[in-house]
Structure 1
Amino acid sequence: MRYSDFSRLVDEVFGSAYGRVLVREQVLPRLEDRTPEQALAAGAEPRDVWHALCDALDVPDARRWGTDRFRQAPPPG
């Protein structure tokens, strides 16, 4: 997953305004108590950040991949 894919999914799943707030302010224990923005800046893989954000917010698998029903994520790790 590229950073642009991450940003697109944030917008599709959470909405652009709320999604940007989450990326900037949601502290995720799975990412060493960093926000998604901090984790990405530190070099974390966007896919790992996406999974951590979705897990923390209990986003169901059916909604995790936005509006593209053919979009599939490779299994983590």
Structure 2
Amino acid sequence: MRHTEFWARMDHALGASYSRSWASSFVMQELGGRTAQEAIDAGEPPKHVWAVVWRTLELPATQK
């Protein structure tokens, strides 16, 4: 998964106006106590970060 696809999925799940804010403020233990943005910036693969976001938000399987 490319970064652009990750952000497109975030926008779809949370809305374009809220996704970046959420990604920068919501800390997830599954990402080592980091936000999605921090994990991406630290080099975590976007596919892994998306999987954690997907589980955290309890999104439907169609968005996996």
Q: Same fold (TM over 0.5)?
A: yes
What is the count of residue pairs matched by the alignment? 64
Q: Supply the AA of the counterpart residue of 2:14.
A: F
Aligned residue in 2 for 1:16: 16
Q: TM-score, normalised by structure 2?
A: 0.91
CA-atom RMSD in angstroms:
1.1
Distance across 1 between alignment mates of 2:36 and 2:7: 11
Aligned residue in 1 for 2:61: 61
Q: CA deviation at 1:24?
A: 0.7
Task: Give unpaired runs (5+ residues) of structure 2.
Answer: none
Distance across 2 between alignment mates of 1:61 and 1:25: 24
Task: Name the larger-Rg structure.
Answer: 1
Deviations 1:36-58 (A, max 9, x none): 00001110000000010110111
Distance across 2 between alignment mates of 1:51 and 1:41: 16
Aligned residue in 2 for 1:43: 43
Q: Runs in 1 of length 4+ with deviation above 3 angstroms?
A: none
Hey, which of these two has a bigger chunk of strand by percent? 2
Task: Give unpaired runs (5+ residues) of structure 1.
Answer: 66-77
Q: CA deviation at 1:27?
A: 0.6
Q: TM-score, normalised by structure 1?
A: 0.77
